[in-house]
A and B are shown apart, each in its own frame.
Chain A
Amino acid sequence: MAKEKEIVAPRKIKLSTSSKVFYVICYTIVTLMTIVCLVPFILLVSGSFTAENWIRFHGYGLIPGEFSLEAYKIIFKTPERIIRAYGVSIMITLIGVAIGLLLTALTAYVISRKDFKYRNALSFFFYFTTLFNGGMVSTYIYYIQYLHLKDSYLALILPMVFNVFYLLIMRTFVNNIPVALIESAKLDGAGEWRIFFTIILPLLQSGLATIGLFLALGYWNDWYNAMLYMNTEAKYPLQYMLYSIQQQAQALARIASQAGISVQDLPSSSLKMAMAVVATGPIVILYPFVQKYFVAGITIGSVKG
C-alpha cells in the first residue's frame, strides 16, 4: 500500500499537459453522464409535487413551479388499490425468490458435482433455452390453453422462477466450496440431501443473496407477464397497475370516483408522476444497500463459465 502511494503521488504533482487534458475530459464526461442518468428521476419527483394547473400551463419541469401535495393526498385518501398492488408484488416476489433460490441452488449443486455423469448434458439442456425458444406466440398459447395460467398468480411466478444466467452465477459460487468438505461429510455417513442443506446452503450465503436480489428485482419490475395473462384488476402487481394508470383513462376515472371528485378535477398529470414515485421508491431507497451484490453478480455473470 505504502509503495503504491509513493508511485502514484509524484504523478499527481507533475501532471503533464496531456494528462490534464485527459482528466478534464474524463471528469466532464462522467459528470455529464451522471446528470443524464439522474435527470429523469428529478423530473418525476418534481412533477409529482407540482400543482396541476402549473403543469397544464407550463409543462413538467426540473423544479416544481408551484408546490402542491394534491397528487399524494389523492393517492393516500383511498390507498386500497395501491396497498393491494403492493401486496400482490410483495407476495409474488417473496414466493418467486424462495422457490427460485431453492431450484437454482439445487441445480447448481448438481451440475457442479464432478462425479455426476450427466452434468454436462444437464447444463446443455438448460443452456439451450438461451439459444432457441418457442417464441412469444406458441408460449402464450401453451400457457393459456394447456397450462391454464390465464389470470393465475402462477403466470406471474413460473415464467421467471428459473434462469440459466442465474444458474451459471450460482454454479460459480458452488465451485468455490471445497470438494473436501463434501467428501469428508460423505465419509461421516451424511446423505446427499443432508450435505446440501447443512453444508452447502449455509456456505452459499453470498450466492443466495446475489441471486435472490436479481430474482427480486425481476419480479418487482415485471409487468409483461401481468399484461399477457392477468385479467382481474385486483390481481395486478404494482408495475402493471402503474402502467394501467398511465395508459387507460378508465383507470384514472376509477381513482377519481373513489376519491369522490370528477375526472376533470383529478390532478392527473401530477398523479401519474406520484404513482411512479410510489412504485419506484422502494428500489431507490434500498439501492445503496444492495448495490454491491448486483455489481458482484454482474461481474461473475460476465465471466463465461
Chain B
Amino acid sequence: MKFFKGFAEEFKRNRALFAMAAPAFILVLVMQYFPMTGLVLAFKNYRYDMGVFGSPWNGLANFRYLFASGTGWLITRNTILYNLLNLITSQLLAVLIAIFITEINNMIFKKVTQSIILLPYFISWVVVGVFVYNLFNFETGMMNGVLKAMGMDPVNMYGIPGAWPVIICLFNAWKWTGYNSVIYIAAITGVDGEIYEAASIDGATIFQRILYITLPSIRPTLVTMILLQVGRILRGDFEMFYQIVGNNGQLFNATDVIDTYVFRSLITNPDIGMTAAATFYQSVLCFVIIMVVNAVVKRIDEDYALF
C-alpha cells in the first residue's frame, strides 16, 4: 500500500519524467524481459501450435538429452576454453600495445599506428569471414598460394581442427586489440605527468617507470575488463565463430560453442526443447557466476566490484 501511495505521489509530481522514460521502459520490457519467461521452454516439449505456455511440461528430459549425448559438456568446455584463451591473449596484447603507444614520442607515427590498430573494430564479422576465406580456402587461399610458390604441397586447413583455436584466437585479438588498447591508453594518460617526471629525475629507467607507475595505473581497468569477460564466460561470440568457422562440420568438435550449437539446431533441425535447455543453462549459470564473482571481489576490495 505504502509503495503505491508513494508511487502515485511521485507520478503526480514527475509525470513528464515518467512519460519520457516510458518508451525505453516498454521497449526493454517487451524485447528483453518478456523473452525471459520463454526460458521455461527448457522444461517443456515445445509445440508451435500450443505456444510457449500451452506446451506440455516434460521435466528435465531436455537437459538429460543434451548432456547424455555428450554435446552439452563439449560445447560448455569449448565455450569456457575459448573465452579464457581469448581473454588472456587479447587483454595481454592490448596492455602491451597501450604501453608501447603511450611511450612513442613521434606524434605522427603514434597517430597513424593507433588509427590502423583500431580499424578492425569497425569491420563487420561478415568481412572478417571473407578474410578467412581469402587466407585459408583450399583452392585459391593465399596461404596455399604461398606454399605452392615455395614448391610445397597445399594444406587443407579445414581438415585440421587443431589449427582453429589458434586462428580464432588470432582473429579475436585482431578485432579487439585496438578497442581494448584505447581503454588502457585512457587509463595510462590519466596518470599525473609529474609522477613520470619525478621518476626520470630520480633516475628511474624506462622499465622501472613502466613496472612501478604505468602497470599499477592500469590495474583497476584490467580488473574491470577481466570481470566483465568472466561474467560472459559461457557466452560465445556467435558472430565471430559463425563467420570464421562457417558450416564446416569437420571443425565442429573443436570450434562449437554454446551459441553456434544452439543456432544450428534452431535453424537446421528445430529441437526447441534441447536448445532451450542449453540457453537456460547458459543464462542461469552466467548470472550465478557474475553474481558470485562480483560478491567475492566486493569482499576483497569494494572499489573493484562491478556493481
Contacts and interface: CB of A to CB of B under 8 A. Distances in A.
Main secondary structure of the interface of A (DSSP, over half): helix
B141 interface: yes
B140 A129 contact: no
Contacts of B30: 147
A223 B141 contact: no
A283 to B, nearest CB: 5
B157 interface: no
Interface of A: 4, 7-8, 11-12, 16, 18-19, 22-23, 26-27, 29-31, 33-34, 36-38, 40-41, 43-44, 47, 55-56, 58-62, 103-104, 106-107, 109-111, 113, 115-118, 122, 125-127, 129, 131-143, 145-147, 158-159, 161-162, 167, 191-193, 196, 217, 220-224, 239-240, 242-243, 246-247, 269, 272-273, 276, 279-280, 283-284, 287-288, 291, 294-295, 298-299, 302, 304
B17 A110 contact: yes
Given A26-B104, A61-B145, A145-B51, A224 B24 contact: no
B263 A134 contact: no
Contacts of A36: 174
Given A37-B120, A107-B20, A287-B119, 14 more contacts: A22-B207, A37-B174, A43-B142, A59-B140, A60-B141, A118-B10, A133-B32, A136-B279, A158-B27, A192-B16, A243-B126, A287-B122, A294-B122, A299-B186
A204 to B, nearest CB: 14
Given A33-B117, A37-B174, A125-B25, A12 B103 contact: no
B178 A37 contact: yes
B17 A38 contact: no
A2 B280 CA distance: 61
Q: Which of B38, B174, B243 has the most CB of A within 10 A?
A: B38
B21 A106 contact: yes
Given A138-B35, A221-B124, A192 B17 contact: yes
Interface stretch (B73-81, B82-90, B130-138, B161-169): B130-138
B116 A60 contact: no
Interface string B14-26: 1011001101110
A19 B205 contact: yes
Contacts of B207: 18, 22
B183 A193 contact: no
Given A30-B113, A302-B183, A304-B306, A113 B17 contact: yes
Nearest to A16: B205
Q: Which of A59, A137, A302 has the most CB of B within 10 A?
A: A137
A132 B235 CA distance: 11
B280 to A, nearest CB: 7
A36 B131 CA distance: 12
A40 B283 CA distance: 35
B281 to A, nearest CB: 9
A192 B20 contact: yes
Contacts of B307: 127
B133 A246 contact: yes
A45 B180 CA distance: 27
B300 interface: no
B39 A134 contact: yes
B255 to A, nearest CB: 17
Contact of B266 (A137, A246, A288): A137
Contacts of B66: none
A55 B88 CA distance: 37
B219 to A, nearest CB: 14
A162 B46 CA distance: 30
A223 B126 contact: yes
Nearest to B23: A103
B24 A288 contact: no
Interface string B85-112: 0000000010011001101110001001
B21 A162 contact: no
A26 B174 CA distance: 18
A291 B178 CA distance: 12
B302 interface: no
A295 to B, nearest CB: 6
Contact of B36 (A60, A138, A291): A138
A60 B16 contact: no
A110 to B, nearest CB: 4
25 contacts: A11-B200, A18-B205, A22-B206, A34-B113, A36-B174, A40-B131, A40-B135, A41-B119, A59-B146, A104-B24, A107-B21, A115-B14, A133-B35, A136-B238, A138-B35, A139-B35, A141-B35, A142-B38, A221-B124, A222-B124, A239-B124, A242-B130, A272-B133, A298-B179, A299-B186
